[in-house]
Amino acid sequence: MPEIVTEVVLRQQCTGCSACMNSCPVDAIEMNYNAEGFLVPQIAEKLCIKCSICYKKCPVVQVLPKTESELIDNAPTFYGGWSLNETVVKASSSGGVFTELARYVLEQKGKVYGARWINKGIEHWGIDSIADIGILQGSKYLQSKIGFTYRQIKNDITSGKKVLFVGTPCQVAGLNSYFRHKNLITADLTCHGVPSYIVYKKYIELLDHPIEWVNFRDKTTGWSNYSMSLHLKNNSVIKSQYNWKNPFYIGFLKDIYLNSCCYQCSFSCLPRTGDITLGDFWGVPAHLSNHDRGTSVIIANNLKGYQLLQELISKKQVYLEEVNKEQATLSNPRLVKGQLRIPVEREKILSHLDQYGFKDIQEKYISLPSNKYILKFYLKKFIKKYLKS
């Protein structure tokens, strides 16, 4: 009996990366949401030729070798830093280093692929103009639909373009298992895990507004005290809450409705899957705090990534300062560790999604902050503002 990728799904290890769908020679695979709200492959048995290519290209199954020439002294280099363009930093979730990477590739007539909001959901999208970088900026804490992005990237590179792909570690692993090339630059993101899309939709339905997109990391309240803001079609904001006051966010950060594979992620560890790793530098040393505008943690995982970052420094696009591994990972464990405790609430929530609305989930499993906590927060904020003035 030939092995097919559904074996990975049955073991609850599927990340939804879509490498199988892109690799299938007869297009027998579609990615659809399962009952828990996560993308998984579904195989049309009438079309399937039992070639096992989908299984062989699955990054959960295939372990990609790293050669000595790819590594810098067999170890990554860690940095803290940000874009030297203040407008870029302001528009970004953290320090804006992604934007500078994208600009560098686009200036060479290349193409950049990343996640964007479209049709009230998240999909990977390719751009070839600096003017379009904005649609790929910002953190999007939902599972993005890859579609046939990997095939498009292969076509772009075959036609002579340089390509930057940015995605979660499992998505970068999926691309690497499908296609690798010297003109392909990959950047994996520090990923906490992806929440159920069904739970997200139930939260949005509860609000009773036609929400077009969500800014999960609104920095108008500061980088360290970011908010979640909800936007309508005309870009007006109907609701903005600190992350610790928003019930959907609280559930996400409590890990109570993440994908099953996210609790034992084999990609959120060293060696990382991308040439470069990008994330927020939580626990940043005081001299790298960038006055709460946003500081990125960046890892050069191989020689390609290291040389590209040095190029951005020489072009004065970014400020980067090397830090040690302990500084970079102390408050950012998902850089090196993919294990999370599975909360008992997860099974109770995701096995009853056909019965629960988000209000039920919130009342049963999500505790909002106490009045004492809120008072303490605003008092601290007032004192900080008073001392500045």
Q: Looking at residue 84, what DSSP letter applies?
A: S
Is residue 26 over pLDDT 50? yes
Residues 306 and 325 in one domain: yes
What pLDDT is recorded for position 384? 55
Q: What is the mean pLDDT of residues 294-315?
A: 96
Residues 383 and 288 in one domain: yes
Is residue 373 over pLDDT 70? no
Indicate whether 299 belongs to any domain: yes
Residues 29 and 107 in one domain: no
Residue 127 banded pLDDT, cuts 50, 70, 90:
very high
| CA–CA dist 298, 141 (Å, integer) | 19
Residue 63 banded pLDDT, cuts 50, 70, 90:
confident
Task: Yes or no: say if 281 and 80 are a contact pair by the CB < 8 Å rule.
Answer: yes
Indicate whether 206 belongs to any domain: yes
- Domain housing 28: 6-56
Residues 347 and 388 in one domain: yes
Residues 173 and 296 in one domain: yes
What pLDDT is recorded for position 386? 56
What pLDDT is recorded for position 62? 84
Could you report the per-residue pLDDT of 209-257, keeping only the tens digit for each?
Answer: 899 999 999 999 899 999 999 999 887 888 888 888 999 999 999 999 9
Residues 43 and 177 in one domain: no
Could you report the per-residue pLDDT of 78-113, keeping only the tens digit for each?
Answer: 999 999 999 999 999 999 999 999 999 999 999 999
| CA–CA dist 366, 354 (Å, integer) | 19
Domain count for the chain? 2
Residue 389 banded pLDDT, cuts 50, 70, 90:
low
Indicate whether 310 belongs to any domain: yes
Task: Yes or no: say if 253 and 242 are a contact pair by the CB < 8 Å rule.
Answer: no
Residue 74 banded pLDDT, cuts 50, 70, 90:
low
What pLDDT is recorded for position 370? 67
Residues 17 and 106 in one domain: no
Contacts by 45-50 with C-beta closer than 8 Å and gap 24+?
48/4, 49/25, 50/2, 50/4
Indicate whether 333 belongs to any domain: yes
Residue 68 banded pLDDT, cuts 50, 70, 90:
very low
Residue recorded with tokens 């804006």: 96
Residues 198 and 129 in one domain: yes
Residue 291 banded pLDDT, cuts 50, 70, 90:
confident
Average pLDDT taken over every residue of the chain? 92
Residues 208 and 294 in one domain: yes
pTM for this structure? 0.94
What pLDDT is recorded for position 241? 87
